[in-house]
Amino acid sequence: MELNKIYCMDCLEGMKQMEDNSVDLILTDPPYNASISKIKGFGFEAINEEWDKNFNPLDFLKESERVLKQNGSMIIFCSYHLLKTYLNYEGMKLQQIIHWYKRNSMPSLVKVYGFSIEYMLWFTRPNYIFNKKFSGKNIIISNVLQGRERTIHPTQKPLSIIRKLLKVHSNENDLILDPFMGSGTTAVACKQLNRNFIGFELSQKYCDIANERLNQNNLKEWFK
């Protein structure tokens, strides 16, 4: 498949066209199965999207394992909704769980504790890449994304977090795969940091947003 391109297609169909042992790092934010009926309040709105319902990650995990190189690794964003499924996956070693603490997370509007943590599950192959000088602790603290970097995608991740993960878990000119590209944050970070990428995204709307971000002449300054 052509490098540095986002394909508007199902990731399973796309990944089947990729060669075995061809990817250095998979960095992605799949559906969480966290959608609920819309609740508004305190300036927040809950997510209620069809693509975020009834998602089974097992097929995606198997294809990911196939395309990864022997020194590769995989970082998957998730919440508690699918955590058990990922933890029970035996295809690759779960090396560590990285935590994202959101200082301005959505407050609880029902009778449960508010959720201020998302997980990044780090699965590894033998001899995985790890650039320790960029790593720090296994907790990343930042705000939920706001401001000019924000797009209309409801689960967009901060570019600062994706850049950090790329620096730690890949090298320049490596190939990064994001099977759930969304509004293109992984692709933007790869372009900034001299990594190659391949991305898949079902929604043409989000593909268009991602490509618009990539085509900005002031990309390196706008999204620092």
Q: Which stretch of DSSP H or E encloses residue 74? A: strand 68-78
The sign of the CA dihedral 164, 100, 188, 126 is positive
Quote the CA–CA distance of 209 and 152 in Å, as a whole number: 9
Q: Could you tell me the residue ranges of all domains in the chain?
A: 20-180
Quote the CA–CA distance of 29 and 42 in Å, as a whole number: 25
pLDDT digits (tens, 9 = 90+) for 207-224: 999 999 999 765 554 444
Amino acid type, 101: Y
Quote the CA–CA distance of 215 and 114 in Å, as a whole number: 38
Amino acid type, 70: Q
Quote the CA–CA distance of 45 and 27 in Å, as a whole number: 26
Which DSSP string corresponds to 152-214?
A: S-TTPPPHHHHHHHHHHH--TT-EEEESS-TTSHHHHHHHHTT-EEEEE-S-HHHHHHHHHHH
pLDDT digits (tens, 9 = 90+) for 54-109: 678 888 999 999 999 999 999 999 988 889 989 999 999 999 999 999 988 777 66
Give the range among 34-48, 63-77, 145-159, 186-200 with minimum mean pLDDT: 34-48
Quote the CA–CA distance of 181 and 112 in Å, as a whole number: 31
Please tell me the class of the 20-180 domain: alpha beta
pLDDT digits (tens, 9 = 90+) for 123-169: 999 999 999 999 999 999 998 887 888 888 878 899 999 999 999 99
Q: Write the CA distances from 163 to 6, 8, 27, integer angstroms.
A: 18, 23, 11
Beta bridge pairs of residue 115: none
